[in-house]
Amino acid sequence: MTDLMGRGAGHAPAVRLILASASSARRAVLEAAGLTFEARAVGVDEAEAKRSAAAEGYTAGECALLLAGLKAARVRDPDALVLGCDQLLVCEDRWFDKPPSLAAARETLLALRGRRHVLATAIVAWRGGREVWRHLAEPRLTMRPFSDAFLDAYLAAEGERLLPSVGAYRLEGPGVQLFARIEGEHAAILGLPLLPLLDFLRGHGALLS
C-alpha cells in the first residue's frame, strides 16, 4: 500500500524533507497535512540581516525571502529537500520583531490596534546546494479597536505563549478575538504557506499527484 508521500509500507519517502525551523506552529501545519519530515533548528543572525536589508531598501517581503533562504542554506544535507521559512509583520511601514516580554507584547498590540497589518510569509526550498523554489504570501489582518480592558484580560489569559509570535497573538487561540477582518490562507498566517508548498512538492516528486 502506498501513502501520500509516495512510498510503500516500510520504505522511506522518495524525497527526504527537512524543515529548517524550530517553530512548533510550522511543525504542526506540516504534521496536520500528513507530511513526513525532520525539523532542525538553525542559527541565523536575523537582527543583522534585517538591519542590512532595511538599509539596502528591501521590502518586508524581500527581507523575509532573504531570511528564509539563509535558514535553508544552513542545513548541510545535499540529498534532502530543505525548507526555510520566515515571517515579518509590517504595519504602516514599520517592521515588528517578536516581543521579548509581555510589556513589549502589550506595546505591539497597542500599535496594531484598529489598524491593518501584513504578514510577509516566505518559504524557500534548497536541494543539492542551491535554491530550487521560493514563495511569498502576504496575508492581511485588521485588528478591531479593542478596549484596554480586553487587552489586559487577553494578556493575562495568554501570558508568555504570545512571545514566539511576531504579532503577539495566536489565531489558533483567543487571539482571533482581536480581529475584525482576516484575509489570506490560515497556514500562511501561522508561518508557512501550505497550499503553494503542497503544489511544489507534488511537482518535485515528494507527494503523490
Q: What is the pLDDT along the chain (209 residues), one digit of tens a residue?
A: 345 565 554 555 578 999 998 888 899 999 999 999 999 988 888 889 999 999 999 999 999 999 999 999 999 998 899 999 999 999 999 999 899 999 999 999 999 999 999 999 999 999 999 999 999 999 999 999 999 999 999 999 999 999 999 999 998 889 999 999 999 999 999 999 999 999 999 998 888 78
Residue 58 is assigned to a structural domain of this protein: yes
* Structural domains of the chain, count: 1
Residue 8 is assigned to a structural domain of this protein: no
Of 199, 192, 101, 191, whose CA–CA distance to 155 is shortest?
A: 101
How far is Cα 4 from Cα 170, in angstroms, rounded to an integer? 29
Q: Does the global pTM surpass 0.85?
A: yes
User: Please, are residues 65 and 30 in contact by the beta-carbon 8 Å criterion?
Assistant: no
**Predicted local distance difference test score (pLDDT) of residue 205:** 81
Residue 97 is assigned to a structural domain of this protein: yes
Provide the 10 A C-beta neighbour count for residue 139. 20
71 DSSP assignment: H
Provide the 10 A C-beta neighbour count for residue 136. 19
* DSSP H or E stretch at residue 94: strand 94-96
Which residues on adjacent β-strands are paired with residue 199? none
What's CA 36's distance to the chain center, in Å? 18
27: cell is 511543525
Residue 10 is assigned to a structural domain of this protein: no
* DSSP H or E stretch at residue 114: none
**Predicted local distance difference test score (pLDDT) of residue 13:** 57
- Domain holding 126: CATH number? 3.90.950.10
- Concerning whether 97 is annotated as a catalytic residue, the answer is no
**Predicted local distance difference test score (pLDDT) of residue 35:** 94
User: What domain range includes position 107?
Assistant: 17-203
Residue 11 is assigned to a structural domain of this protein: no
Catalytic residue among 45, 79, 86, 97: 86
